[in-house]
Structure formats: C-alpha cells, structure tokens
Structure 1
Amino acid sequence: RSNLFPPTTMTQSTSKPMHPDDAKEPLLMENKQRFVLFPIKHPQVWEMYKKAEASFWTAEEIDLAHDQNDWNNMTADERHFVSHVLAFFAASDGIVNENLVERFASEVQIPEARCFYGFQIAMENIHSETYSLLIDQYIKDPTEKAMLFNAIETVPCVTKKANWAVRWISESKCFAERLIAFAVVEGIFFSGSFCSIFWLKKRGLM
C-alpha cells in the first residue's frame, strides 16, 4: 500500500511537470484523501458545486416550436449576428471542456473542486449540444450550416479566440496564470456574446 502514493515532482494525475510557482499552491498539493469526499473540508467550494447541481437541465427541455417564426422575422444582419454567436458558443464549450479534462480536473487535488469540475464538464456538453441544435434548427442552407459548425476554421474572429484559449491548455505557465486565462474565456469572451442573447430576450424573441 505504500506504493499507492509514490513520491513525485508532478501533479498526481497529469504527466506535465509542475511549475515551480505551483509547489505551494494549496489546490495542487498532494492529497491522499482526494478519492474520498467526506468530511467536507472546503464548504464554500462544496456549496458552489451544490448550486451548480441544482441548476441542472437538458437540451430536451427547450421548446423550439415558435423560434423559427422569430428567426424568419429577423433581418438578414440580425440572423448573421446571432448565427455567428451560436457558432462561437458551439465551438468554445468544447475548448473549455478540453482544458478541464486535460488540466484542471486532474491537477486540482481537493475532491470538492473535482466534483464541481466533473459537473461543469457535463453541463458544458449540454450547452454545446444545445447551441448545435439551435444552429441545426435555424440554418437551412447546408453550406452555411457546415461553415458555422466549423467556425474555428472558417470564421476569423472565432479562430482567434479559439487559438488564444487552446494555447493556454498546453501552456507551461503556472496554475494561477492559466486559471486567469480561462476566467477571461468564460468572463469576457462568453459574457460579451451572452449580451446578444439577452438582447433577444429583451425583445421577446426566441
């Protein structure tokens, strides 16, 4: 049993060497209790997980029956704008998930945070499914639809955002810097685009 937690200079579940600045990061310190959830040692993190859990929903709960009429009544510029926002969302949730799976969920050693990351991964999957369903529902032209589904390669502004985010997944910077980078992805890249969704909501559309 003594070999279960061998000494290592790496984080416990990833092959990437630990950055020197991460050696004293509490979230990343070796935790032999990381496989057991109770007793809860980080109640604030656990509370955030439970709040996220309580907000669970699925794509099947959304009724798109009346959306097509709203879509058809938009101007061409409005449809172009909204479709490109959806294209950004559809691609970007997959990038967020790749970072969670490849880096954060394996690096962070406290089980409460791992619970949150695990649930976030599930919700990002649902978000990505939903955005893809919306594109599939609204866009009838096969060529345009293919372009939007491949926005990382076909839409320059999405390409730039995606490249910036993906760079931070493989980046050798310390955990704190990478955490801030993905806070930018979620808090700036996504928030700006979410404003357009609320703009539609304020107009009583879709």
Structure 2
Amino acid sequence: MTNQNYTKAINWNNIEDLIDKSTWEKLTEQFWLDTRIPLSNDLDDWRSLSDDERNLVSHVFGGLTLLDTVQSDSGMDSLRADVRTQHEEAVLNNIQFMESVHAKSYSSIFSTLNTKTEIDDIFAWIDANNNLQYKAQKVTHIYKTGTPLEKKIASVFLETFLFYSGFYTPLYYLGNNKLANVAEIIKLIIRDESVHGTYIGYKFQLGYDELTETEQENLKNWAYDLLYDLYANEELYTDTLYSKLGWQEDVKIFLRYNANKALMNLGFEPLFPDNASDVNPIVMNGLSTGTVNHDFFSQVGNGYLLGQVEAMRDEDYVF
C-alpha cells in the first residue's frame, strides 16, 4: 500500500528547474564571512575623515543593517510559502542565511570603527529615521499581506534598488582609495544581492507568464506605482544622508540606474533615462575593482579565490 501522507525528501539528482541548481552552486561558490576581512586596516582612513563623513558612513551602514534584517527575518520566510520546487526552498534558505551574514557584517564594521556610545546612537537613529522606517515597513507589510508575485516584486526592489543609497558611500571611498576593506565587504554583499535579485526576479517571471493579459497589466501597474512610491521616499532619505556633503544628486542618479536594473530583473522596461555612463565614474570604478586576497598562505582573504567582484552588466540581471 502506498502511503499518500508522507514527507518528501529533496532529491538533488532530479532537478525540476536547472536555475535552482545553478543558483545554489553560484551562491555556495561565493560564500564568505566578515570575520576574514581585516577591517582594522581601515582605521587610519577612518580617522582621516571629517566628522560629517564619519557620520554619513555610520548612518548608511545603519540603514543597510535594517534592510538586511527585514530580508533575513521576514523576506525569505514570506517567499518560502510559495516555492515552485523543493530546490527553490533550499536556495531561499541559503539566501536567508547570507542576509543574516550581511546584517552581522555591518556590526563588525561598527565594532571596528565606532565607540560603544556611537553604536548606540546609530541604532537609535535607525529606530527614529522616518524615511528609513517607511521603506522597511512598506516592504515588510507587502511580505505579510501581498500576493506571492507582489512579495517577489518587493524583494527585488529591496535587493536591487533600496540598498544602493547606502552602497554608494563605500564605493565612492573605494574609488578614492579609502576604506578599502570596508568596501570589500560591500562588494561581496553586492555580489550576493545581484544573484538574489536575478533569481527572485526569474521566479517572478515564471509566475507572471502564467497570468492573463489583464492580470499582467494590473500587476505591472502595481509594480511601477510601488517603485514611484519607494523612489519618492528614497529621494528624501538620500537628502537627509548626503546634503551636508553635497552628494545627493549623484546618489539619486545611482538610485535611478539601479531602479532600472530592478525592473529588468522582473522582465519590465526601465523607467528612468539614467544609465551607467551617467553614474559618478568614481563609484563605478569602485564597483568594478577586483577583490584583494590578503592571506596568500591560507587563501581566505576577502578574495577567497572565488573570482572577482565585477561591475554588474545588463545581462547579469536577466536569466
């Protein structure tokens, strides 16, 4: 007699979707931990920054900590409820763990660069910043109440767009030969987020293609409305972070560029006219700089001999 009430074991020798397998392999190949990156080597650079610059760096990492917490605490849990394959669930488990690694990495940066009082102030700022809380709560609300495809849209927007108001800062300093090890962590995170965004965007497209034309049009309009709302808030958030240094307009170009990338992950047309040539070349140079292997003998520096962190190309965002 066949037992119809059974728990099904995952079989990696019987793959339903090869993208699940290739994504799992990519994510495990590029596994890393913050503890292997010598952040203390950046202390001289940190001390050379002005008070406003140190305040900016601290706050952008505070904001990134909150967004990665959202992804690790509720984001992947909400997506797991609607997986198409067992292997997809395994990939989401990997993504959830790495989002926790990302969130912890910012605390490693804080503990290296900041005093205990400064760290307490950073987390108090996270709790009190209205624009930061708005985007975190907006995405969390969709994770809790949205449809499976709406949740994927929110996740892709977070991974490929909302993080980048924070990523701009360390990439800018890297392009100016400062805070190189801090920036290495960010580049490793960007490498992860690029895979996360493309994978979840791919899964979105599978479900989107199954909708009627009317359903597709309604969902596309919902996605663009959400992006407009998040971008309007992100402009305000960017102004609060960057206005003292006068970087806010450059950052907004970077945001619009990555908002287009998020739409491409979903299979939608770009919204903004900005492209890579419009982005501050110092930031693009920081993004494209290869990783550095700090430990020749153990080969466990931030390069990990797993390939270089490269500038993202358009084709990286579409399977």
Tell me if structure 2 keeps the 8 A contact 1:37–1:111.
no
What is aligned with 1:68?
43
Cα shift readout 1:37-71 (whole Å, capped 9, x = no counterpart): 32112112311221111110111111012211111
Tell me if structure 2 keeps the 8 A contact 1:148–1:154.
no
C-alpha change, 1:147 and 1:189, in structure 2 (3 Å) is same
What is aligned with 2:136?
162
C-alpha change, 1:167 and 1:100, in structure 2 (3 Å) is closer
Separation of aligned partners in 1, 2:6 and 2:20: 27
Is 1:200 equivalent to 2:177 in the alignment?
Answer: no
Separation of aligned partners in 1, 2:4 and 2:86: 21
Tell me if structure 2 keeps the 8 A contact 1:34–1:109.
no
Offset, 1:167: 1.1
Is 1:180 equivalent to 2:191 in the alignment?
Answer: no
Q: What is the identity percentage for the equivalent residue pairs of Structure 1 and Structure 2? A: 20
* Structure 2 length-normalised TM: 0.52
Tell me if structure 1 keeps the 8 A contact 2:75–2:155.
no
Matches within 5 A, 1:2-21: 2-4=4-6
Judge which range, 191-200 or 83-92, deviates more: 191-200
What is aligned with 2:285?
none
What is aligned with 1:121?
96
Three-state SS of the structure 2 residue aligned to 1:107 is: coil
Offset, 1:151: 4.2
Offset, 1:129: 1.0
Number of equivalent positions: 177
Three-state SS of the structure 1 residue aligned to 2:12 is: coil
Tell me if structure 2 keeps the 8 A contact 1:34–1:110.
no
Offset, 1:141: 5.2
Separation of aligned partners in 2, 1:111 and 1:59: 29
C-alpha change, 1:157 and 1:69, in structure 2 (3 Å) is farther
Tell me if structure 2 keeps the 8 A contact 1:86–1:131.
yes
Offset, 1:2: 2.0
**Larger relative contact order (C-alpha < 8 A, sep ≥ 6)?**
1
Tell me if structure 2 keeps the 8 A contact 1:94–1:124.
yes
Separation of aligned partners in 1, 2:20 and 2:116: 45
The code of the aligned residue for 2:72 comes to N
Q: 2:56 aligns with which of 81, 90, 98?
A: 81
Poorly superposed stretches of 4+, deviation over 4 Å: none
Judge which range, 192-201 or 100-109, deviates more: 100-109
Tell me if structure 1 keeps the 8 A contact 2:78–2:151.
no
Separation of aligned partners in 1, 2:163 and 2:24: 21
The code of the aligned residue for 1:193 comes to G
Three-state SS of the structure 1 residue aligned to 2:81 is: helix
What is aligned with 2:248?
none
Offset, 1:34: 6.7
Tell me if structure 2 keeps the 8 A contact 1:105–1:117.
yes
Cα shift readout 1:135-167 (whole Å, capped 9, x = no counterpart): 12212151x311313444122332122111211
Offset, 1:93: 0.9
